[in-house]
């Protein structure tokens, strides 16, 4: 009766003899001997078995336990649900991060353009006979040109790509 119950509970939990042996810190042959009725676990091992199988010791020693098979589809569905939930959270967090970065880029661009407008491009009145001043003036002009012409185009392209992606996502 005990050997039948051990085998029935092991298979109902979806464990192989090797997996059960690892959980019990014994060799597989020991589990095999218990299940074939060639030996019996001692009292301490019965307590460990009851914990592993989540069943009272009296049930291990008592009536024959009906062998049940684990509902593999249900187990897989539950695991997939957990994975999908984690993936959805990760995707939402990533999208939120990109939105914040995009808004920050537009804010920095707006402040930069406002600052350049208020300064009135002071580098245009500098004396460019000094090579260091000429280099600095050229760098300021290049920065102003990029900030006023190229960066807005890049950000507008990104905004269009995001809008297209969202529209396609709604129709799928």
Q: What is the pLDDT of residue 113?
A: 80
Q: Which of 34, 29, 63, 32 is nearest to 46 (CA)?
A: 34
User: So where are the chain's domains?
Assistant: 2-61, 72-171
Give the C-alpha distances (Å, rounded to integers) separating 114 from 68, 152, 168: 73, 14, 35
Q: Which of 29, 23, 72 is nearest to 48 (CA)?
A: 23
Domain 2-61 fold: 434 Repressor (Amino-terminal Domain) (1.10.260)
Q: Which two tokens stand for residue 54?
A: 């989540």
Q: What is the pLDDT of residue 68?
A: 53
Q: What is the pLDDT of residue 172?
A: 45
- 7 CB-near residues (< 8 Å, 6+ apart): 35, 67
Q: Is the pLDDT of residue 63 over 60?
A: yes
pLDDT tens-digit readout, 146-165: 888 888 888 888 888 888 88
pLDDT tens-digit readout, 97-125: 988 998 898 888 888 888 878 888 787 78
Percent pLDDT > 70 in the chain is: 92
């Amino acid at each position: 009766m005990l050997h039948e119950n051990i085998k029935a509970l092991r298979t109902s939990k979806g464990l192989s003899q090797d997996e059960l042996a690892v959980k019990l810190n014994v060799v597989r042959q020991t589990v095999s001997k218990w299940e074939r009725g060639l030996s019996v676990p001692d009292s301490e091992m019965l307590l460990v078995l009851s914990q592993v199988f989540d069943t009272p010791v009296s049930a291990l020693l008592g009536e024959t336990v009906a062998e049940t098979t684990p509902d593999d589809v249900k187990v897989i569905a539950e695991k997939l649900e957990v994975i999908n939930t984690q993936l959805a959270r990760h995707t939402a967090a990533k999208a939120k991060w990109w939105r914040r970065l995009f808004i920050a880029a537009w804010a920095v661009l707006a402040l930069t353009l406002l600052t350049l407008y208020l300064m009135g491009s002071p580098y245009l009145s500098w004396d460019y006979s000094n090579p260091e001043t000429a280099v600095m003036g050229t760098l300021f002009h290049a920065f102003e040109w990029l900030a006023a012409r190229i960066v807005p185009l890049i950000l507008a392209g990104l905004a269009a790509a995001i809008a297209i992606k969202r529209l396609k996502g709604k129709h799928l």
